[in-house]
């Protein structure tokens, strides 16, 4: 049992420790007045430290700061660098492309090989490129509405699919509400977004049998509200209900690509009609892809032909630029390999075992969840079955205290809930240091 007073004591003590060890970060923060909220992008304030750590460089699974600290990096750019920072094959390919032009608004020869690699890895035949996963999800929603002629989409309570307004509807006391944090949206998204709890087959059947939903947009395993795994058989039922009701099934595998080679759909089934992968696919270069079946492609082509030429609302000038294509091709040919996944999954299993043993030793009613190379400890006794349960189990102050304690000992978790990623270049020594730091932290919280 951890009491609130202990959390507050650890948080205060760790903030002081951070202040003493990071004078340059504070000086940087004070000088950065030209940025709104002193950072070039406001999410950078979401870390639990009093001011953000200022990155100096990163290589493999290690990051350094301008204060001379070295970190075991389990955040890995919140998945963008899931396969390690600057893998040598990617760095070399980017250096060459940088001297040959970066963006032409024309296809490059390398793109043909890339489309074949995507199809081979993810099992869908046709692909398009965007600049971010958010943009890929927006494009997919637009295509699904366009080809189905249906206005609504269905998402799950607590889901996050990027800057995709349509997915910002939650359940509160079983009623749909617009997410309170959303800025500047003037339309009532509840008119066109149906939201239900994950793993609720009855709610899913009821929603889809109305036959007015264009697509279900789902992470096959929820990863943005803590982690919520699919109950046995749930994804099969989801696939069947989509088929029965003419609803398109979209898997957003941006995070669940950690599950195994090919993502969750390939590793565990079922196959979606469309899928999205962003972040790590370009190794940190901004790009993402969406893939789809031949049947969906035929419907997309027919829709395209039925429209006059002009802006489709899909894509931007920088989509599929030469740098992005080169980055993804280098990643898929040399870095994102079955061997890389073997290492990641072995490392993640070591981390899970270590954390579970320390939780047991400390007598805490917490648990650890694993989605392939993605591991998370949740400060509640049993795995939540849906987003509502997961949200109720969260303890932001406790999480912040743990994160800062670990950061002060050279270990970085992702700033969002307790997410940890194991890359192909994460060493056992790094995993053991994380487990040791976690054990020290639970002791400090119990003192």
The residues that touch ligand PMP, with contacts defined as CB under 6 A, are: 132-134, 137, 160-162, 219, 224, 252, 254-255, 278-279
Report the nearest approach of ligand PMP to the CB of residue 78 (Å): 6
**Sequence-ordered strand ranges (E) for 337-392:** 367-371, 374-378
Nearer to ligand PMP, 53 or 80 (CB): 80
Report the nearest approach of ligand PMP to the CB of residue 227 (Å): 12
Whether the Cβ atoms of residue 171 and residue 392 lie closer than 8 Å to each other: no
Report the nearest approach of ligand PMP to the CB of residue 332 (Å): 18
Nearer to ligand PMP, 2 or 159 (CB): 159
Report the nearest approach of ligand PMP to the CB of residue 99 (Å): 27
Strands 411-412 and 70-73: parallel
Report the nearest approach of ligand PMP to the CB of residue 307 (Å): 26
Nearer to ligand PMP, 160 or 261 (CB): 160
Report the nearest approach of ligand PMP to the CB of residue 253 (Å): 8
Nearer to ligand PMP, 290 or 405 (CB): 290
Nearer to ligand PMP, 384 or 437 (CB): 384
CA distance 123 to 36: 43
Vertex 220 angle, CA 215 and 221, to 5°: 140
* Residues ≥6 apart with Cβ < 8 Å to 174: none
Task: Please give the C-alpha separations between residue 318 and each of 102, 117, 130, 161, 285, in angstroms, as whole numbers.
Answer: 10, 22, 8, 21, 12
Q: How many residues does the chain have?
A: 447
CA dihedral over 86, 89, 94, 96, signed as positive or negative: positive
Nearer to ligand PMP, 122 or 405 (CB): 122
Report the nearest approach of ligand PMP to the CB of residue 278 (Å): 5
Nearer to ligand PMP, 422 or 441 (CB): 422
List the structure tokens of 146. 């366009």
Nearer to ligand PMP, 27 or 163 (CB): 163
CA dihedral over 194, 268, 243, 246, signed as positive or negative: positive
Is the peptide bond preceding residue 270 cis, with omega within 30 degrees of 0?
yes
CA distance 119 to 138: 21
Q: At what angle do helices 110-122 and 322-330 cross, to 10 degrees?
A: 50
Report the nearest approach of ligand PMP to the CB of residue 447 (Å): 35
Report the nearest approach of ligand PMP to the CB of residue 5 (Å): 33
CA distance 16 to 70: 19
Nearer to ligand PMP, 71 or 160 (CB): 160
* Residues ≥6 apart with Cβ < 8 Å to 117: 329, 332, 333
DSSP reduced 3-state for 125: coil
Nearer to ligand PMP, 22 or 423 (CB): 423
Q: Taking the mean position of all CA atoms in its chain, how far away is CA 284?
A: 13
Report the nearest approach of ligand PMP to the CB of residue 80 (Å): 7
* Residues ≥6 apart with Cβ < 8 Å to 347: 373, 422, 426, 428, 431
Whether the Cβ atoms of residue 344 and residue 423 lie closer than 8 Å to each other: yes
Residue nearest to ligand PMP (CB): 162
First to last CA, the chain: 11
């Amino acid at each position: 049992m951890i009491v609130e007073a202990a959390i507050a004591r650890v948080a205060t003590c760790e903030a002081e420790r951070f202040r003493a060890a990071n004078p340059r970060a504070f000086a940087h923060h004070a000088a950065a007045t030209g940025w709104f909220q002193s950072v070039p992008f406001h999410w950078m304030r979401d870390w639990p430290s009093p001011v953000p750590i200022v990155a100096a460089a990163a290589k493999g699974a290690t990051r350094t700061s301008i204060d001379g600290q070295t970190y075991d990096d389990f955040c890995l750019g919140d998945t963008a660098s899931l396969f390690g920072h600057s893998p040598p094959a990617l760095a070399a390919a980017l250096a060459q492309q940088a001297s040959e032009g970066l963006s032409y608004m024309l296809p490059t020869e390398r793109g043909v090989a890339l489309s074949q690699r995507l199809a081979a890895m993810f099992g869908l035949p046709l692909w398009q490129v965007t600049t971010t996963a958010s943009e890929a999800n927006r494009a997919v929603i637009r295509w699904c509405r366009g080809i189905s002629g249906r206005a609504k989409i269905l998402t799950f309570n607590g889901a996050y699919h990027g800057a995709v307004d349509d997915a910002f509807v939650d359940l509160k006391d079983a009623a749909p509400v617009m997410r309170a944090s959303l800025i500047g949206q003037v339309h009532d998204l509840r008119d066109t977004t149906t939201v239900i709890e994950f793993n609720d087959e009855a709610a899913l059947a009821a929603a889809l049998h109305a036959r007015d939903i264009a697509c279900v947009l789902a992470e096959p395993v929820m990863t943005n509200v803590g982690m919520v795994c699919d109950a046995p058989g749930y994804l099969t039922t989801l696939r069947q209900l989509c088929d029965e009701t003419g609803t398109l099934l979209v898997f957003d595998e941006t995070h669940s690509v950690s599950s195994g080679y090919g993502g969750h759909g390939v590793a565990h089934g079922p196959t979606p009609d469309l899928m999205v992968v962003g972040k790590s696919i370009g190794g940190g270069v901004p790009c993402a892809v969406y893939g789809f079946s031949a049947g969906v492609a035929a419907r997309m082509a027919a829709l395209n032909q039925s429209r006059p030429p002009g802006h489709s609302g899909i894509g931007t000038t920088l989509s599929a630029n030469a740098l992005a294509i080169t980055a993804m091709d280098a990643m898929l040919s040399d870095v994102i390999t079955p061997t890389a996944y073997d290492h990641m999954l072995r490392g993640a299993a070591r981390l899970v075992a270590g954390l579970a043993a320390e939780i047991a030793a400390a007598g805490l009613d917490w648990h650890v969840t694993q989605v392939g190379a993605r591991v998370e400890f949740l400060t509640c006794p049993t795995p939540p079955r849906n987003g509502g349960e997961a949200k109720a189990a969260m303890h932001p102050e406790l999480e912040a205290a743990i994160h800062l304690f670990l950061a002060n000992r050279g270990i970085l978790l992702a700033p969002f809930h307790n997410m940890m990623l194991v890359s192909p270049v994460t060493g056992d020594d790094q995993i053991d240091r994380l487990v040791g730091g976690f054990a020290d932290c639970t002791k400090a919280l119990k003192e």
